[in-house]
Each structure stands twice: as C-alpha cells, then as structure tokens.
Amino acid sequence: MSRVERAILCALACGTVTYAAIWAGEWSSGGRLYLASIFSTAVLISTSPTLRQCHPARIVVSHVGSMMVGLIARMFFLPTPLTIAIAVGIALCFVVMFDALHPPAIANAAIALVAHETTPVLLALAAISSFMLAAAAAAAAALYNASAGQPLAPAGFWKRRRR
C-alpha cells in the first residue's frame, strides 16, 4: 500500500470513527453533549492502531474509569482548577495502576467535573462512546495487521515488556 493510499485510508477511518462515536454519544445524551476526548482517541486509533494504548480494553477502562473518577469528585467538590487537576491526577493514577493507560481518556475526569449534565447521562455517554471506539480500534488493528500480513488481532493488553 502506498503512502498516499495509507493517508487516505487513515483519514477515512478517522472520520468514520469520529462520526460513529459522536453519533453514539449524542444518542445516549439526547444530542446535548459529546466528549471532546473522542477526537484524540479517533486520531490515535486511525493512525496507530497497533499501539498498546489503542487496545479496545484500554480504551473502555480508561474512558469509563476516568469519567467515574470525575463524577465521584463532582459529588464532593466544586469544579475549580485545583479540583480538576486533582481529579485528572487521580484518574491517571487509577488507569496506570490497572495498566490500562489510554492517554486521551484522562480528560474525561475534567469533563465530568465541568459538564452541566446528570451523572447517569455522563456515565452512559462515556460507556457508549468508549465501546464504539473500542470496536473501531479492534477493526482498525485487524485491518492494519491484514495489510501488513500479520495475525488479525489487536496488540497485547497486559503483555509485559521484555527487559
């Protein structure tokens, strides 16, 4: 596959993934809200589908876990710059502790604190969008691997690095 063909394929994949995740998010929130972090996730999935950070399980755990951290922080604190920074730090600690880091998803902790939406809507938005992105990540990894002549499976999730 040539560089131009791959660039066109990545652009089409990114647009499709972004549209699907936005549609799913708008459907779950009644068209009132979408997660800005899905754009970064869509670009990452479309351009580097075989990275560990693009594994479907990492996408779901990071997006939903970060949203839950932000929602828990919202129950106890007002959205100030300090509380947002603390919530983002705790969300990062959570996903690193579970070895499930997907960097764009950490922003969901901040989004949960500042969004003017109910807790069930925000949680459903994160869950539905992340499952849609995870499905796209699995498909992108399979297509990428097929074009490279490798097995049709996404990168390892909890596979330890060799020292």
Residue 84: the pLDDT is 93
- Count CB atoms within 10 A of the CB of residue 82: 10
CA distance 104 to 116: 21
User: How does residue 158 score in pLDDT terms, banded at 50, 70 and 90?
Assistant: very low
pLDDT tens sequence across 18-64: 787 777 777 766 766 667 787 788 888 877 777 888 888 899 999 99
Instruction: List the chain domain ranges.
Output: 3-148
Give pTM, 2 decimals.
Answer: 0.79
- The 10s digit of each residue's pLDDT in 9-25 is 767 877 777 787 777 77
Helices (H), the chain: 3-29, 37-47, 56-76, 81-97, 107-114, 119-148
pLDDT 10s digits, 101-146: 888 899 999 999 998 888 888 888 888 888 888 888 887 777 776 6
